[in-house]
Structure 1
Amino acid sequence: MKHTLTLMPDGVEVALAQGSPLTDIEYETSEPLIPFGCRSGACGACVVEVIDGAEALGERDPEEADFLEDLGWADGNHRLACQCRLLAAATVRVVDQ
């Protein structure tokens, strides 16, 4: 089963397999839509703001929450794209670093 990930502000829609990390978008498009460096939640390059569908990205684990807080994104609306898994349709915006 695939779900739609929408990237704002351009509204680009990409279908990803259920349970895929958002950084798997690189396999579905030729453009680097979500930057990333490590895939392990240690670099902070892939911070996204969740616009819609927060529940579709699974729970933030304590390590992700702590790292996001260290980066200044403790509000709960931000995630590391490499750490959350797409479980249903969601809309995100890549954060300018």
Structure 2
Amino acid sequence: MTLRKLTILPTGTEILLPAGSPLTEVEYETSQRLIPFGCRSGACGACVVQVLAGFDALGAPDDDELDFLEDLGRTGGDHRLACQCRLRGDATIRVVDDI
């Protein structure tokens, strides 16, 4: 099993997850609530993160996710909904808390 590293800022926490894992798996790896999750279907916006490194390692966003991020004012291409991402390589994200 290949493990990939996810670094979560601002805490600087590093989590190892099996390649292909959804980012929602983070909550099973630590008792801390590092990424807020709500609906888990890409409809609430609670889990918006800014991707600082490894954007391609999270899989490509679909049109629905991109449209919703635009509705939230998160244009420019460096934001994702964590619930829609699967970790395929190492990545660094920052939790967005000003939605």
TM-score range normalised by the length of the shorter chain: over 0.9
Q: Which runs of 4+ in 1 moved over 6 A?
A: none
Identify unmatched segments of 5+ residues in structure 1.
none
User: Could you tell me the percent identity over the aligned residues?
Assistant: 64
What is the CA-CA distance between 1:46 and the residue it aligns to?
A: 0.1
Q: Distance in 1 between matches of 2:94 and 2:26?
A: 14
Match of 2:89?
88
Match of 1:29?
30
Most deviating of 59-68 and 7-16: 7-16
What is the CA-CA distance between 1:75 and the residue it aligns to?
A: 1.1
Q: TM-score, normalised by structure 2?
A: 0.94
Q: TM-score, normalised by structure 1?
A: 0.96
Deviations 1:42-67 (A, max 9, x none): 11000000000001011110000000
Aligned residues: 97
Q: Distance in 1 between matches of 2:44 and 2:25?
A: 17
Over the residues paired in the alignment, what is the CA RMSD in angstroms? 0.8
